[in-house]
């Protein structure tokens, strides 16, 4: 069949709308603030091989990595109609343990094999492990929480009671987890239903064909974009402040080789994996790299498997960008992913300086709180991330107080947190002057100050507290972030990654980094 630009456009939008509808269902029926308020989830549909057809505009760090979950589920579990496979194992398709991915097959007629797969990933605010919120400063994976290899959570439309019970028995907030998992199952069901409707309407051959065509289409566009980059090798390096256990910088180095319409992104020379939990697995490095290339494409092209066909990622095993079991990984997904993006963009800036912005805040400022609410006697585990400054762009200052690059989660309203948790927020404002100067200044970070109302365990996983976000084209660096403990009126500076036990009325102030400036001079 020859390419039909008309029908193609119809299908392209159809596929994306299915992924978006999954997201609506998940967010509206989920129970934990992290999913329902902050939208820390992603949804996508896949072809028979597990290649992405379309995904919603959700979390960039999830989206590049989820195909590996689908592939792991296909390899490890025979999925019958009505089954749903759950997994979070970072070394079998996952990224870090709180991200639980649910994969479901879509069977058509009496087929023996699924014609499509649907999957969604959501960040659960607790999956057990050594600290509430499951983002601890661990030294091995086993401390970080319950490890779920690909396993059937639903068989023939019935939840497998003992698997669910096993999960719920290992987490601090089982009711919330059960509600969130139910919402995830429902989201997959919605996508399955929609795909069936589309097949009923258009016929399966056509649907399958366009599922392939959209990937080819994206590939064509990305190829064109890469071909426009000047051939050559472009290197860059940048570092994480530390791994949370020592104060040694952790370097990530990249060489990007552009050859015609192909790109090779080689992380050889990056530091070895660390004892602390900032290790990224291959899926994360792939996500971050593909994200950077996707941003170079100017049209609003659907993000699917086509992007990955153009860019080859080399990440040496055992390094910080491709850790091995049982390395601790909680921070790899949220912090190291940001630095990988910074490094890849830094290298791309050497190829096309005008098109790449200065570094953004380069961290997600993860804060987890846990304890027992004295008002109700119930346990709570809460997780949030805080926005910061975006780097200046060629033609515009960076935005202030937003999530950048690999994250786009929302805040939890102050009035919602204070209603549901024994915590008060004392200030939530922009950190004036933190953006780097330049022709186009970096955006400002955020100041968020918490006062706990009872004994509370806190984990902070943050970065860019020492090494600031870089400026571009002679723009200035953004201000590094600060974590401050205020106890009995005295301020104490905290490291970038820290685990604390707070007493009632202790305060914690997080000042997030500003973005780097772009270009010389004043804006």
Partner 1 sequence: MSVRIGVDTGGTFTDLVVLDERGLTIHKVRSTPEDPSTAIVQGLSEAAGEIANGEIVHGSTVATNAVLEERGARVALITTAGFEDVLRIGRQTRRALYDFMVTARRTLVPPELTFGLSERVAADGEVLEPIQPDQLDAVIARLRAQNPEAVAVCLLHSYVNASHEEAVAARLSTWQVPVSCSHHVLPEYREFERWSTTVINAYVTPLMARYLASLEAHIGTARLRIMQSNGGSIAAATARSTAVRTILSGPAAGVVGARAVAETAGVSRIISFDMGGTSTDVSLIDQTVAVTTESMIADCPLRLPIIDIHTVGAGGGSIACIDAGGALRVGPRSAGADPGPACYGQGTELTVTDANLLLGRLDPTYFLGGRMVLDVERPRRLAEDLAKRAALTVRALAQGIIRVANANMERAIRVVSVRRGFDPRDFALLAFGGAGGMHACEIAAALEMRTVIVPRYAGVLSALGMLLADVKKDYSRSVLRPADTLCEGELRELFQPLMAQAEKEMAEEGFADASLVVECAVDVRYIGQSYEITVPLVSEYRDEFDRRHARLYGYSNPRRPIEVVNARVLAVGLARKPELPWTSYEVKRRATACRMRDSVFDGRSYQTAIYRHEDLVPGSGGDGPALVASEMATTVIPPGFQFQVDEAGNVIASGRTRRPRRVRKPEDLAAVQVSSAARFSDGRARL
Least distance (Å) between residue 26 CB and partner 1? 9
Any idea how long the chain is? Answer: 523
Integer-rounded Cα Rg, in Å, for the chain is: 22
Tell me which residues in 279-308 interact with partner 1 (CB under 8 A): 291, 294-295, 297, 299, 301, 303
Q: How many residues bind partner 1 (CB under 8 A)?
A: 94
In the 8-state DSSP scheme, what is residue 390?
Answer: P
Rounded to a whole number of angstroms, the minimum distance from the CB of residue 421 to partner 1 is: 10
Using CB under 8 A, which of the segments 134-142, 255-263, 402-410, 498-506 binds partner 1?
402-410
Pick the closer one to partner 1 by CB: 372 or 499: 372
Instruction: In whole angstroms, give the CA distance from residue 119 to residue 103.
Output: 4
In the complex, minimum distance from the CB of residue 19 to partner 1, in angstroms, rounded to a whole number = 13
Query: Which residue among 75, 165, 268, 520 contacts partner 1 (CB under 8 A)?
Result: 165
**Applying CB under 8 A, does 60 fall inside the site for partner 1?**
yes
Asked if residue 390 binds partner 1 (CB under 8 A), the reply is: yes
Which residue in the set 157, 205, 324, 505 belongs to the binding site for partner 1 (CB under 8 A)? Answer: 157
Q: Looking at 151, 235, 426, 500, which residue binds partner 1 (CB under 8 A)?
A: 426
Q: Supply the minimum distance, in Å, between the C-beta of residue 199 and partner 1.
A: 13
In 3D space, the residue among 238, 262, 235 whose CA is nearest the CA of residue 250 turns out to be 238
Tell me which of 75, 203, 205, 224 binds partner 1, using CB under 8 A: 224
Smallest gap from Cβ 45 to partner 1, in A, equals 15
Please report, as residue ranges, which positions from 229 to 288 form the binding site for partner 1 (by CB under 8 A).
none
Cα-Cα-Cα-Cα dihedral of 167, 171, 173, 179, to 10°?
-20
Site for partner 1 in 134-153 (CB under 8 A): none
Site string for partner 1, 170-209 (x = CB under 8 A): -----xx-xx-xxx-xx--xx-xx--x---x---------
Task: State yes or no: residue 133 binds partner 1 (CB under 8 A).
Answer: no
Round to whole Å and give the CA distance between 183 and 35: 10
Distances (CA, A) of 412 to 120, 314, 365, 416: 21, 37, 14, 7
Interface with partner 1 in residues 434-463 (CB under 8 A): 446, 449
User: What mask, x for binding partner 1 by CB under 8 A, covers residues 13 to 52?
Assistant: xx--x---x--xx-xxxxxxx--xx-x-------------
Q: Is 487 in the site for partner 1 (CB under 8 A)?
A: no
Burial of 490 (0-12, 13-18, 19+ CB in 10 A): exposed
Q: 325-364 mask for partner 1 (x: CB under 8 A)?
A: ------------------------------xxx-------
* Closer Cβ to partner 1, 250 or 296, answer by number: 296
Pick between residue 90 and residue 346 the one whose CB is nearest to partner 1.
346
- C-alpha count within 13 angstroms, C-beta hemisphere, residue 253: 11
**Of the residues 121, 123, 393, 467, which one makes contact with partner 1 according to CB under 8 A:** 393
User: Can you tell me the distance from the alpha carbon of 164 to that of 86, in angstroms, rounded to the nearest whole number?
Assistant: 10
413 binding partner 1? (CB under 8 A) = yes
Binders of partner 1 among 72-101, rule CB under 8 A?
A: 82
Tokens linked to 129: 């492990």
Looking at the Cβ atoms of 15 and 267, the one nearer to partner 1 is 15
523 binds partner 1 per the rule CB under 8 A: no
Count how many Cα atoms sit within 13 Å of the Cα of residue 189 in the half-sphere of its side chain: 14
CA distances from 491 to 49, 480, 487, 495, 508 (A): 55, 18, 7, 13, 9
C-beta of residue 119 within 8 angstroms of C-beta of residue 304: no
Q: Does residue 373 interact with partner 1 by CB under 8 A? A: no
101 versus 409: smaller Cβ distance to partner 1: 409
The answer to whether 113 touches 436, Cβ cutoff 8 Å, is no
Report which of 443, 237, 208 is spatially closest to residue 344, judged by C-alpha positions. Answer: 237
In the set 374, 396, 503, 504, which binds partner 1 (CB under 8 A)? 396
CA dist., res. 366 & res. 383, Å (int):
7
Binder among 347, 349, 386, 452 for partner 1 (CB under 8 A): 386
Q: Which of 130, 151, 159, 245 binds partner 1 (CB under 8 A)?
A: 159
| Shorter beta-carbon distance to partner 1: residue 6 or 493 | 6
Q: Which residue has the tokens 């346990």?
A: 379
How far is the CA of 302 from the CAs of 228, 372, 388, 403, in angstroms? Answer: 20, 44, 27, 21
Q: Which is nearer to partner 1, 141 or 508 (CB)?
A: 508
SS (H, E, C) 6-74: HHHHHHHHHHHHHHHHHHHHHHHHCCCHHHHCCCCEEEEEEECCCCEEEECCCCHHHHCCHHHHHHHHH
Q: Quick one: which of 78, 112, 158, 489 contacts partner 1 (CB under 8 A)?
A: 158
Structure tokens given for 197? 């409707």
C-beta of 17 vs 520, nearer to partner 1: 17
């Amino acid at each position: 069949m020859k390419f039909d630009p008309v029908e193609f456009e119809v299908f392209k939008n159809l596929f994306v709308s299915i992924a978006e509808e999954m997201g609506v269902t998940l967010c509206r029926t989920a129970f934990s603030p992290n999913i329902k308020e902050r939208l820390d989830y992603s949804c996508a549909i896949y072809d028979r091989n597990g290649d992405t057809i379309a995904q919603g505009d959700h979390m960039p760090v999830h989206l590049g990595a989820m195909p590996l979950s689908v592939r792991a589920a296909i390899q490890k579990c025979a999925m019958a109609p009505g089954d749903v496979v759950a997994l979070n194992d970072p070394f079998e398709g996952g990224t870090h343990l709180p991200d639980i991915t649910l994969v479901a097959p879509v069977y058509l007629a009496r087929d023996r094999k699924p014609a499509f797969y649907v999957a969604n990933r959501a960040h659960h605010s607790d999956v057990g492990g050594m600290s509430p919120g499951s983002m601890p400063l661990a030294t091995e994976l086993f401390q970080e929480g319950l490890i779920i290899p690909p396993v059937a959570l639903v068989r023939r439309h019935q939840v497998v009671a003992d698997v669910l019970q096993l999960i719920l028995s290992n987490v601090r907030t089982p009711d919330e987890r059960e509600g969130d998992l139910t919402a995830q199952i429902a989201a997959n069901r919605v996508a399955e239903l929609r795909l069936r409707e589309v097949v009923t309407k258009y016929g399966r051959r056509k649907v399958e064909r366009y599922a392939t065509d959209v990937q080819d289409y994206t590939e064509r566009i990305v190829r064109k974009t890469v071909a426009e980059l000047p051939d050559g090798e472009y290197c860059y390096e940048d570092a994480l402040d530390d791994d949370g256990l020592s104060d040694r910088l952790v370097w990530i180095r990249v060489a990007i080789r552009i050859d015609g319409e192909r790109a090779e992104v080689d992380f050889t020379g990056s530091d070895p994996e660390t004892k602390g939990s900032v290790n990224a697995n291959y899926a994360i490095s792939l996500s971050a790299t593909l994200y950077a290339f996707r941003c170079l494409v100017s049209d609003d092209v659907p993000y699917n498997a086509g992007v990955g066909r153009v860019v080859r990622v080399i990440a040496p095993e055992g390094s910080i960008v491709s850790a091995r079991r049982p390395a601790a990984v909680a921070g790899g997904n949220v912090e190291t992913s940001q630095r990988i993006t910074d490094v890849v963009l830094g290298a791309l800036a050497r190829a096309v300086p005008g098109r790449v912005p200065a570094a953004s805040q380069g961290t997600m400022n993860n804060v987890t709180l846990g304890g027992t609410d004295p008002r109700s006697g119930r346990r709570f585990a809460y997780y949030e991330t805080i926005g910061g400054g975006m780097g200046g762009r060629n033609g515009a200052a960076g935005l202030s107080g937003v999530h950048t690059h690999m994250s786009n989660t929302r805040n939890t309203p102050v009035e919602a947190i204070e209603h549901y948790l024994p915590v008060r927020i004392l200030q939530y404002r922009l950190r004036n002057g933190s953006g780097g100067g330049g022709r186009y200044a970096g955006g400002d970070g955020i100041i968020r100050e918490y006062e706990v109302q009872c004994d509370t365990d806190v984990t902070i996983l943050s970065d860019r507290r020492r090494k600031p976000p870089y400026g571009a084209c002679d723009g200035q660096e953004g201000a590094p972030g600060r974590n401050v403990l205020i106890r009995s009126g005295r301020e104490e500076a905290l490291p970038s990654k820290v685990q604390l036990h707070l007493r009632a009325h202790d305060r914690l102030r997080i000042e997030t980094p500003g973005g780097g400036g772009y270009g010389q001079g004043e804006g």
